[in-house]
Amino acid sequence: MSEITLGRFFFERLHQLQVDTVFGLPGDFNLSLLDKIYEIDGMRWAGNANELNAGYAADGYARVNPNGLAALVSTFGVGELSLTNAIAGSYSEHVGIINLVGVPSCSAQAKQLLLHHTLGNGDFTVFHRMFKNISQTTAFIADINSAPGEIDRCIRDAYIYQRPVYIGLPSNLVDMKIPKSLLDNKIDLSLHPNDPESQEEVIATTEKLISEAKDPIILVDACAIRHQCKKEVAELIEATQFPVFTTPMGKSSVDESNPRFGGVYVGSLSRPDVKEAVENADLILSVGALLSDFNTGSFSYAYKTRNVVEFHSDYTKIRQATFPGVQMKEALQALLKTVKSAIDPKYVPAPVPQQKLINSPAPPSTPLTQEYLWTKVSSWFQEGDIIITETGTSAFGIVQSRFPKNSIGISQVLWGSIGYTTGATCGAAMAAQEIDPKKRVILFIGDGSLQLTVQEISTMCKWECNNTYLFVLNNDGYTIERLIHGEKAQYNDIQPWNNLQLLPLFNAKDYETKRVATVGELNDLFANKAFAIPDKIRMVEVMLPVMDAPSNLVAQAKLSEKVNAEQ
Amino acid sequence: MSEITLGRFFFERLHQLQVDTVFGLPGDFNLSLLDKIYEIDGMRWAGNANELNAGYAADGYARVNPNGLAALVSTFGVGELSLTNAIAGSYSEHVGIINLVGVPSCSAQAKQLLLHHTLGNGDFTVFHRMFKNISQTTAFIADINSAPGEIDRCIRDAYIYQRPVYIGLPSNLVDMKIPKSLLDNKIDLSLHPNDPESQEEVIATTEKLISEAKDPIILVDACAIRHQCKKEVAELIEATQFPVFTTPMGKSSVDESNPRFGGVYVGSLSRPDVKEAVENADLILSVGALLSDFNTGSFSYAYKTRNVVEFHSDYTKIRQATFPGVQMKEALQALLKTVKSAIDPKYVPAPVPQQKLINSPAPPSTPLTQEYLWTKVSSWFQEGDIIITETGTSAFGIVQSRFPKNSIGISQVLWGSIGYTTGATCGAAMAAQEIDPKKRVILFIGDGSLQLTVQEISTMCKWECNNTYLFVLNNDGYTIERLIHGEKAQYNDIQPWNNLQLLPLFNAKDYETKRVATVGELNDLFANKAFAIPDKIRMVEVMLPVMDAPSNLVAQAKLSEKVNAEQ
């Protein structure tokens, strides 16, 4: 009987799911495991600059990967603990991460040896216990017989729930043999079917509400993307012709060039015409909602209707009635079969708000502003772009830009960890390389946030991610925090860096750097056809005034300070 | 009655303990708190480049601070979780850290708002629960009345146990007022007195063993440093004239220029003469032992004597008898009163092993080796130096060098987190600035480790830490791991950087960079008197062969791979 090592089995399972890049750092409890990656054609070990960045990179990769999955390998204690922030972020934002940790051998654990990378108290389960708080499920593998099943169970849960899973793998098990035939049965990724009676009731009630609605709309949020319902959403828009809106986290869930797209709804921070269109609707079909403060303008939703149908990954809610287990993917597919006939034949598709996407003319020497940048950039985006925005002025600014067809938007609106996007860009760029080398990956990050995770640009240089555009918004410190509290406070200042020296320092092979400070310079850059072709790593430093910010951020900051001070 | 804010109270408490630099990053749940630092003369907010680095910096600061303490402020979720690795390291290595986290207001918690920086499930205690695993004690403050007492309790425990403590402080409490008079009673830092009867028995038994010993020695380890027993140890050497040895973690616990200093004992990895002297002793007075694998040559201690007296911070052990609660500081002080009279009058102080500290002559063009470097560097060290060595070739190499008087050695031998020392150097340099601006802070770090935490050099530039020497050992990747497993493996390679461009990139004000690759270049550098004066930030890139390593590391690596593979 043909056999393979357990280590190879793990990576073969990833390979079957098109997870072909593995993120992380080597460490003495995972070295033998890493050898196995190189046995599989088409797989690669990213070798990140540090673990937190590796975690962010995995999160970015998963958001681009066709199965919404990514894998991480780290080492016991010192490696894995540096991942907690990234893993909690993936948990919070529903991203499927397979987080494998190389742990000491079973015998070292049994003897409670006072090994390095431990707390010195013989407790080998403490880090696993910590990760249970931020993982969908975990496995701390202790013997070879249960290992393949445990690995499969964790990978399946990462996919189904789109959340991180934790696997602790002792170093002595990775070279043990198991039957190769275990690979023949692919991991079952099918969702549990919805209960037919519950689903029937959901469809019937929803269609009744649709048939009675005068001003129905569709509102799409993050979980529609994570749980891979973009196709169903597109078909729903096509079938109903209802106006469609997204939340900030739901941006890129729908084709924004579709004439039925009305804009981004953020409660009281929305554009007035968007706010009016959403809040005056008499029926809202909500798909994949994740109603956090930054996603809702600090909970300032003000629907006038009580007719809301919420489709979630694990339940459906219609007005006040909850239907546990009625999952959105299957429910939407069922609804699509009959929804057309439910619409009142006299329904005339309502006009949708139109956004002005052209800047007022300004002399070329006019200093750049956030307002100008976020409007202008819409015209430079191309079909298929991956657009990544850091928490701060970028994540708020991007809300007012328009995304092209088939784009992917990445922003950590709920978890909001500063520095996330440099890592995420590395992961997204490596995923894009696997899908289409012509796909562009475009990062917008502030000069303050860049400092937290800057060394991941080195990993992009190593892998020649010539598909990346790194726009560094230099506004001299933490502008988002200056808006919340402490405009002039020293704690919101940063040490200024010569950012354009980064790519040569990291030994980038093909690269280009630019600095733009005026309207004219930005217009020239975006008019330059060579610049638009993704054939080198590019960094553009965008000089902006310290207190300049998108208007929705200014309003959000005021709401945030109030919440923080409330007793 | 005069009142102060709770936020100011916290920082005044730190100031009373000479904790005058606070490490961390701003975040929206701690901004109002940070305002209060600037109200106190002589205090400063470090403003680190990221949280993990801030945690490492706090650890380095605490190891230099007169009370062995440091303070950190981070923000809920995204900030604090990036600290877990650093805090676990401080826990493992017995370092006193006051880890304060700014958390959402009490009312936001009570309403279970779906705030950013949460897991999106309304659970506000999850991160606190995670930190309980790696903290001596914790407080999640919920009202103003108990807050001052809880803060004092945590600070006291950080000092007494020399371990991290966690304080969660809601944003709405920091501006509330409490009586200023609370500051008049200083925090009681006195140790609980030892039980007199137990201590008497310890002293009597120890003195009996001393009186019978022919070849007694003293062996000093890390906890002697952490629990501030260096003075007692020095007096014990003076009074007894017994040969004294340290472990790797105990390096700098004793004056190595003392003629009674015999060297560093690391079990089977020791120099043969040191091994013989320690293992043939008929009595070992062991102070502050922390017997981890890297500290003991993978547990290869081979004492021939059963006469070991172990002084620990919370108990004493004589042969097989444990005396709980007999703490070393008081016990050593008691022993010192009478120990001289216990020594056999015929005892002749045994000769101690002598180490060769001069390199064999070599032509100036000879390529540098680790062996040459670690011997040569002893002659360049000066009294009072703080010498920091990264896990890897540096932490092993430094064992064979000799430290000057009043030096402080910093190395994370037990926790061993790669990248630790760049952060620790920032913290140690800021602590040194507060003690004596002429004190030099000297880092040895590999090119691989440097990449994990490089941005903390920017913080050193911001604070003009012109007392720092950054020796970057460029051996093209993770040499320590190549020795354990995968000499040619791609996962042990790194992206090469132009390291000497770092200081200008970070806008260092006064700086100097050098590259040395030969024996002659190193000798010239160390002969240059101007170079020895700490008046600018310096980086020296030391070019070394890929597989060149200190001999004790080569031996340790073989033992490590064996332990990892054992079933």
How high is the pLDDT of residue A445?
Answer: 98
Helix axes B51-62, B84-92, angle to 10 degrees: 20
Q: Which of B52, B129, B565 sits opposite A82 (nearest CB)?
A: B52
Q: Give the CA angle between residues A133, A480, A52 to the nearest 5°.
A: 35
Distance from CA of B221 to the nearest CA of A (A): 14
Flag if A105 and B134 touch (Cβ within 8 Å): no
Helix axes B420-435, B51-62, angle to 10 degrees: 50
Flag if B88 and A81 touch (Cβ within 8 Å): yes
The ranges of chain A annotated as CATH 3.40.50.1220 are 196-342
How many whole angstroms separate alpha carbon B201 and alpha carbon B513?
Answer: 58
3-state secondary structure A98-143: EEEEEECCHHHHHCCCCCCCCCCCCCCCHHHHHHHCCCCEEEECCC
Q: Which of A91, A481, A497 sits opposite B506 (nearest CB)?
A: A497
If you search the block for the tokens 């934002």, which residue do you land on?
A: A93
Closest CA to A446 of A409, A376, A393: A393
A-chain residues within 8 Å CB-CB of B292? 114-116, 118, 120
Q: pLDDT digit string (tens) for A290-312?
A: 888 888 877 777 777 789 999 99
> Which residue of A37, A115, A129 is the best one to mutate when testing the B interface, meaning the one whose CB has the most B CBs within 10 A?
A115
Q: Which of B130, B455, B490 sits opposite A451 (nearest CB)?
A: B455
Q: Three-state DSSP class for B200?
A: helix
How many whole angstroms separate alpha carbon A441 and alpha carbon B468?
Answer: 39
Query: Which residues make Cβ contacts (< 8 Å) with residue B122, sequence separation at least 6?
Result: B112, B113, B114
Report percent pLDDT > 90 for chain B: 89
Q: Are B449 and B390 in contact (CB under 8 A)?
A: yes
Flag if A564 and B172 touch (Cβ within 8 Å): yes
Residue of B nearest to A171 (CA): B564
Distance from CA of A506 to the nearest CA of B (A): 5
If you search the block for the tokens 């890493």, which residue do you land on?
A: A34
Q: pLDDT digit string (tens) for B430-465?
A: 999 999 989 999 999 999 999 999 999 999 999 999
* pLDDT of residue B298 exceeding 80: no
DSSP code, position B480? H
How many whole angstroms separate alpha carbon B55 and alpha carbon A533?
Answer: 42
Distance from CA of B120 to the nearest CA of A (A): 6
How high is the pLDDT of residue B382?
Answer: 97
Q: Name which of A91-100, A104-113, B1-10, B308-317 the model is least confident about.
A: A104-113
B-chain residues within 8 Å CB-CB of A85? 51, 78, 81-82, 84
Please state whether beta strands B321-324 and B96-103 pair in parallel, antiparallel, or not at all (unpaired): unpaired
Tally of CB atoms within 10 A around A258: 14
How high is the pLDDT of residue B560?
Answer: 78
B-chain residues within 8 Å CB-CB of A449? none
CATH class of B196-342: alpha beta
- DSSP run (H or E) holding A245: strand A244-246
How many whole angstroms separate alpha carbon A55 and alpha carbon B370?
Answer: 34
Average pLDDT over residues B95-124: 92
pTM above 0.90, yes or no: yes
Q: Three-state DSSP class for B316?
A: strand
Q: pLDDT digit string (tens) for B342-370?
A: 999 999 999 999 887 888 899 999 999 99
Residue of A nearest to B163 (CA): A119
Q: Name which of A506-520, B72-86, B261-275 the model is least confident about.
A: B261-275
Q: Which of A82, A118, A451 sits opposite B49 (nearest CB)?
A: A451
Tally of CB atoms within 10 A around A159: 21
Q: Are A511 and A538 in contact (CB under 8 A)?
A: yes
- Name the pLDDT band for A567 (thresholds 50, 70, 90): low
Q: Which of B25, B416, B565 sits opposite A105 (nearest CB)?
A: B565
The conformational region for residue A162 under phi > 0 = left, psi -120 to 50 = alpha, else beta, is left
How many whole angstroms separate alpha carbon A328 and alpha carbon A323?
Answer: 11
CATH fit for domain B370-557, picks 3.40.50.360, 3.40.50.300, 3.30.470.10, 3.40.50.970 = 3.40.50.970
Give the active site residue among B475, B492, B499, B552: B475
Flag if A88 and B119 touch (Cβ within 8 Å): yes
3-state secondary structure A278-338: HHCCCEEEEECCCCCCCCCCCCCCCCCCCCEEEECCCEEEECCEEEECCCHHHHHHHHHHH
Provide, for chain A, the percentages of residues in helix, strand and coil under a 3-state DSSP scheme, each rounded to the nearest 5.
Answer: 40, 20, 45
Distance from CA of B414 to the nearest CA of A (A): 5
How high is the pLDDT of residue A298?
Answer: 75
Q: Which residues of B participate in the annotated binding site for Mg(2+)?
A: 447, 475, 477
Flag if A77 and B88 touch (Cβ within 8 Å): yes
For A252, the token pair is 């890129």
Half-sphere exposure of B497 (CA within 13 A, CB side): 32
* pLDDT of residue B563 exceeding 80: no
| ipTM score assigned to the predicted complex | 0.96
Known catalytic membership, residue B116: yes
- Name the pLDDT band for B378 (thresholds 50, 70, 90): very high
Distance from CA of B82 to the nearest CA of A (A): 5
* pLDDT of residue B567 exceeding 70: no
Query: Which residues make Cβ contacts (< 8 Å) with residue B326, sequence separation at least 6?
Result: B194, B195, B198, B199, B202, B315, B316
Residue of B nearest to A25 (CA): B491
Residue of B nearest to A134 (CA): B119
- DSSP run (H or E) holding A408: strand A408-410
A-chain residues within 8 Å CB-CB of B291? 114
The ranges of chain A annotated as CATH 3.40.50.970 are 3-184, 370-557
A-chain residues within 8 Å CB-CB of B50? 52, 419, 451-453
Catalytic residues of A: 28, 51, 116-117, 416, 447, 475, 477, 481
The H-assigned helical ranges of A117-250 are 126-132, 147-161, 196-212, 222-226, 230-240
How many whole angstroms separate alpha carbon B388 and alpha carbon B449?
Answer: 13
Q: pLDDT digit string (tens) for A82-127?
A: 999 999 999 999 999 999 999 999 999 998 888 889 998 889 999 9
Q: Are A370 and A544 in contact (CB under 8 A)?
A: yes
Flag if A107 and B567 touch (Cβ within 8 Å): yes
How high is the pLDDT of residue A21?
Answer: 98
Residue A68 marked as a ligand binder: no
Q: pLDDT digit string (tens) for A155-181?
A: 999 999 999 999 999 999 999 999 999
Distance from CA of A88 to the nearest CA of B (A): 7
CB-defined contacts A:B, below 8 A? 298
For A141, the token pair is 């593998």
How high is the pLDDT of residue A97?
Answer: 98
The CA-atom distances, in angstroms, between B145 and each of A131, B150, B352, B545 are 34, 10, 59, 61
- Name the pLDDT band for B308 (thresholds 50, 70, 90): very high
Q: Which of A50, A119, A504 sits opposite B88 (nearest CB)?
A: A119
Q: CATH homologous superfamily of domain B3-184?
A: Thiamin diphosphate (ThDP)-binding fold, Pyr/PP domains (3.40.50.970)
Known catalytic membership, residue B447: yes
How many whole angstroms separate alpha carbon A559 and alpha carbon A18?
Answer: 43
Q: pLDDT digit string (tens) for B18-51?
A: 999 999 999 989 999 999 999 999 999 999 999 9
How high is the pLDDT of residue A291?
Answer: 83
